[in-house]
């Protein structure tokens, strides 16, 4: 074989090899193009889904904020109710305490009267005055702390 024939055969072999290489490259690039198209479609669907989720999330956030404001308002409204209940409880407790003291005083006076020999009517007046003064004293003692408490109406 001559050098020229060998050169022509080498050139032909290189051209065929290059053509085969280009065929594989084209096939690979076409597959990559289909993959990119599929990826673009998937991203468009995902973008639509993400937008929908974002809108629903914003709506849910607005609803939660509105609900929390309503709960906060309701809690503020109940504060006065609980304060009034606390004050009513304190008043009832003080009244019960004053009634108990009055009952104790009256009970002691009656017990003394039963145990003592018959007393004249002046003794009954004295017992009555003791009961009245004990009642006044307990009411006065109970009213003073109420007047000095913060938020009292006295």
Distance of alpha carbon 13 from alpha carbon 11, whole angstroms: 5
Percent of the chain with pLDDT over 70: 87
Q: What single DSSP character describes residue 117?
A: P
Domain that holds residue 99: 3-148
pLDDT reading at 113 higher than 80? no
Distance of alpha carbon 51 from alpha carbon 57, whole angstroms: 10
pLDDT in tens, 17-74: 999 999 999 999 999 999 999 999 999 999 889 998 999 999 999 999 999 999 999 8
Residue 53 domain flag: yes
Residue 116 domain flag: yes
> pLDDT at position 132, please?
86
pTM: 0.40
Residue 72 CA: distances (Å) to CA of 1, 32, 81: 101, 58, 15
Residue 61 CA: distances (Å) to CA of 49, 50, 56, 64, 76: 18, 16, 8, 5, 23
Angle between helices 121-148 and 3-115 (to 10 degrees): 160
pLDDT reading at 130 higher than 80? yes
pLDDT reading at 147 higher than 60? no
Residue 67 domain flag: yes
pLDDT in tens, 69-89: 999 998 888 888 888 899 999
Residue 154 domain flag: no
Residue 29 domain flag: yes
86 against 151, higher pLDDT: 86
Burial environment of residue 123 by CB neighbours within 10 A (0 to 12, 13 to 18, 19 or more): middle
Residue 153 domain flag: no
Task: Report how many domains make up the chain.
Answer: 1
Percent of the chain with pLDDT over 90: 45
């Amino acid at each position: 074989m001559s050098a020229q024939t060998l050169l022509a055969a080498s050139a032909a072999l290189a051209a065929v090899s290059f053509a085969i290489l280009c065929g594989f490259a084209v096939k690979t690039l076409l597959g990559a193009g289909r993959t990119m198209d599929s990826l673009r479609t998937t991203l468009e669907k995902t973008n639509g889904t993400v937008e929908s989720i974002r809108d629903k999330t914003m709506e849910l956030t607005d609803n939660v904020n509105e609900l929390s404001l309503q709960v906060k308002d309701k809690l503020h409204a109940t504060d006065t109710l609980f304060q009034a209940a606390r004050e009513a409880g304190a008043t009832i407790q003080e009244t019960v305490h004053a009634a108990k003291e009055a009952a104790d005083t009256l009970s002691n006076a009656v017990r003394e009267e039963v145990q003592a020999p018959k007393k004249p009517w002046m003794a009954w007046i004295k017992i009555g005055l003791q009961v009245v003064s004990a009642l006044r004293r307990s009411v006065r003692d109970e009213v003073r702390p109420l007047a000095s408490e913060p938020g009292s109406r006295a």
